[in-house]
Amino acid sequence: TRYSLLASEPTSLATLAPVLLLSLLSVSGLVASDFQDFKGGRFALKPLAAAAFIWLAVLLGAPQSNYGQWLLFGLVLCAVGDVLLMFEAEAAFLAGLVAFLCGHLLYAVAFTQLPLNTMAIAIACLPALTLIVLVLFWLRPHLQGLMRAAVPAYIIVIAAMLIFAGGTWGHAGSLLILCGAWGFAFSDLAVARRQFVSADRINGLWGTPLYFGSQMLLAASVAWQL
């Protein structure tokens, strides 16, 4: 299995080294570029950082399982969302929001390809629903026009993804899935704060590495599902 391969063969780590290095360098450079408001760095490095998590999933065998295929589709859509969010126009932000919404949906579908623990799903509902209430309470005063409907719909989809991620508990790789899914959800708060509350540069200092790290964790989870 991929699990035993990664655990027992040092050469497999050498195979993964380039993609891990690409992720580390591109994300670090992206955080620095955004903090300095260097748009050239953002446009050069953000696609590279997104390509890294897709590359990792492919290296670990995503096309070889139903779970991996659905997850890979989600990763690609998130990469599309990353590119769209590089632009500051509201239309680009809305298109990016749709891409990420579809990415979250595909992650949820991917999680359902695994045997789900119904008790774990029930337990996961409480924190997921709590997140919905708290985030809507926080953001609603800042939303206008179409966003008053689009953002709540997006948050509900995130909650569904988190619930199904919770349902994978007990299976190989479930810790990566849970950490990746929740990290992805919390990184969305940085995007929401920047877009609707405050454009403070501190948003990217924690939101960007959390987002790309979470995507890498989700991509890595395919190695345990073959």
pLDDT of residue 185: 96
The answer for residues whose C-beta is within 8 angstroms of residue 143's C-beta and 6 or more apart is: 151, 196
Flag whether pLDDT at 61 surpasses 60: yes
Flag whether pLDDT at 101 surpasses 50: yes
Flag whether pLDDT at 165 surpasses 90: yes
Torsion of CA 221, 224, 225, 226, to 10 degrees: 130
Closest by CA to 110, choosing from 223, 226, 222, 224, is 222
Mean pLDDT of the chain: 91
Instruction: Summarize pLDDT for 16-52 with one digit per residue, the tens.
Output: 999 999 999 999 999 999 999 899 999 999 999 999 9
Band of residue 224 on the pLDDT scale cut at 50, 70, 90: confident
Average pLDDT over residues 157-177: 94
Least confident stretch, 5-9, 59-63, 112-116, 125-129: 5-9
pLDDT of residue 128: 96
pLDDT of residue 89: 83
pLDDT of residue 171: 86
**What predicted TM-score, i.e. pTM, was given to this entire model?**
0.91
Average pLDDT over residues 54-70: 95
Average pLDDT over residues 57-68: 95
Average pLDDT over residues 85-98: 88
- The percent of residues above 90 in pLDDT, for the chain, comes to 77
Flag whether pLDDT at 11 surpasses 70: no
Contact (CB, 8 A) for 86 and 139? no
Torsion of CA 177, 181, 182, 185, to 10 degrees: 170
pLDDT of residue 7: 41
Distance CA(172)–CA(49), nearest Å, equals 26
Instruction: Summarize pLDDT for 180-209 with one digit per residue, the tens.
Output: 999 999 999 999 998 899 988 888 899 999
Instruction: Summarize pLDDT for 113-159 with one digit per residue, the tens.
Output: 999 999 999 999 999 999 999 999 999 999 988 889 989 999 999 99
